[in-house]
């Protein structure tokens, strides 16, 4: 859930046999050196032609041709894994401090002392802010925008499918409860008004994806579903936290942070 934990998971993946599958030219169109990720099938399924049993499609509003073009450029830049290509989209001169809470003992992100907004000219900040804003309505208010619930997403690049996506984590700090959620998640959990329930926790993750053809989609994932396909089921599950790990889906490139009344800020890895 917390950044250190992500790093730990990431480190585990680097040494785990499952993620070090030897690369062969038999991989259709896969350039040599492209890593295979445990969630490759998961992503292929989301962007494929069949409705996945583990996800609900959420309709995205249409965007202007210019924004669509900029999303496409952003996808390509993200796939290069070269930070300097991404910084072209970010307005470094407007970097800002993300709020801290509980007498500075609660920091919501990996380095919220400085996050960087998109250039307003490319419209991408507004695009992703709109997704954050719409998630509560789209999920019948099962998810709300708050520092205990939805306030961040993780940008990943999946080399096999050439898709780029954002994993949105909601229910980040449910209130501690002796009976239903007896977990101490640290300072950011203090005063949480997010009530744990199994029903909402299993659906705490959403994924926005832009595929190789620049088609965008947004998915509300049900982590408690089992599909019978082990490549997908290994990504699901994980009660009671039900965290969908972005590092399963590709190279993790940046975090997006968003709270009401603030601009969306990005923090590159
Ligand atoms: C990253 O991109 C910049 C700008 O295009 C380029 O100068 C640099 O060599 C690239 N770095 C790598 C490691 O490819
Ligand atoms: C797309 O990005 C370019 C370069 O940043 C910018 O000039 C253009 O205005 C952007 N389009 C939109 C719709 O913001």
Tens of pLDDT, residue by residue over 9-37, are 333 333 333 333 333 333 444 454 567 99
Q: Is the pLDDT of residue 3 over 70?
A: no
Residues 6 or more apart whose Cβ sits within 8 Å of residue 128: 118, 153, 166, 256, 258, 264
Cβ of 82 below 6 Å from ligand 1: yes
**122 CB-contact burial (10 Å; exposed 0-12 / middle 13-18 / buried 19+):** buried
Cβ of 70 below 6 Å from ligand 2: yes
Please count the structural domains in the chain. Answer: 1
Nearest partner of 221 among 185, 164, 171, judged by Cα: 171
Q: How far apart are CA 156 and CA 166, in angstroms?
A: 6
Nearest partner of 251 among 173, 181, 156, judged by Cα: 156
- Ligand 2 centre to CA of 67 (Å) is 7
- Ligand 1 centre to CA of 258 (Å) is 29
- Ligand 2 centre to CA of 88 (Å) is 12
pTM of the predicted model as reported, rounded to 2 decimal places:
0.87
Q: How far apart are CA 174 and CA 202, in angstroms?
A: 13
Q: Nearest bound ligand to CA 87? A: 1
**DSSP class of residue 254?**
E
- Ligand 1 centre to CA of 194 (Å) is 43
- Ligand 2 centre to CA of 150 (Å) is 28
For residue 72 the two structure tokens come to: 């496409």
Predicted confidence (pLDDT) per residue in 148-207, tens digit: 999 999 999 999 999 999 999 999 999 999 999 999 999 999 999 999 999 999 999 999
pLDDT value for 111 = 77
pLDDT value for 16 = 34
Helices vs strands, H then E, count in the chain = 7, 9
* Residue pair 43/96 in contact by the 8 Å Cβ criterion: no
> pLDDT-derived band of residue 98, with 50, 70 and 90 as boundaries?
confident
Cβ of 65 below 6 Å from ligand 2: no
Residue 76: which domain range? Answer: 3-268
H/E stretch holding 107 reads strand 106-107
**DSSP class of residue 154?**
E
Q: What CA–CA distances, in Å, run from 34 to 25, 29, 79?
A: 11, 10, 11
Looking at ligand 1, which residue's alpha carbon is closest to its atom 2? 84
pLDDT value for 39 = 97
> pLDDT-derived band of residue 260, with 50, 70 and 90 as boundaries?
confident
């Amino acid at each position: 859930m917390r950044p250190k934990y992500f790093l730990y998971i990431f480190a585990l993946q680097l040494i785990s046999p499952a993620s070090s599958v030897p690369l062969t030219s038999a991989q259709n169109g896969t350039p040599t050196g492209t890593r295979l990720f445990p969630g490759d099938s998961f992503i292929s399924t989301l962007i494929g032609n069949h409705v996945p049993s583990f996800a609900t499609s959420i309709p995205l509003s249409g965007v202007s041709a210019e924004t669509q073009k900029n999303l496409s450029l952003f996808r390509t830049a993200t796939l290069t894994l070269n930070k300097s290509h991404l910084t072209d989209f970010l307005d470094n001169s407007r970097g800002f401090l993300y709020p801290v809470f509980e007498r500075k003992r609660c920091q919501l992100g990996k380095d919220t002392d400085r996050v960087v907004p998109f250039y307003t000219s490319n419209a991408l900040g507004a695009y992703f802010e709109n997704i954050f804003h719409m998630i509560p309505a789209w999920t019948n208010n099962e998810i709300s925008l708050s520092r205990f619930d939805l306030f961040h997403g993780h940008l990943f690049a999946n080399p096999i499918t050439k898709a780029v996506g954002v994993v949105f984590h909601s229910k980040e700090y449910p209130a501690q409860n002796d009976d239903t959620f007896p977990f101490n998640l640290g300072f950011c959990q203090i005063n949480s008004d997010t009530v744990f329930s199994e029903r909402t926790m299993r659906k705490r993750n959403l994924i926005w994806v832009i595929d190789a053809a620049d088609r965008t989609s947004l998915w509300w994932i049900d982590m408690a579903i089992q599909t019978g396909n082990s490549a997908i089921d290994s990504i699901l599950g994980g009660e009671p936290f039900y965290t969908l790990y972005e590092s399963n889906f590709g190279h993790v490139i940046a975090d997006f942070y968003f709270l009401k009344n603030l601009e969306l800020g990005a923090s590159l890895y």
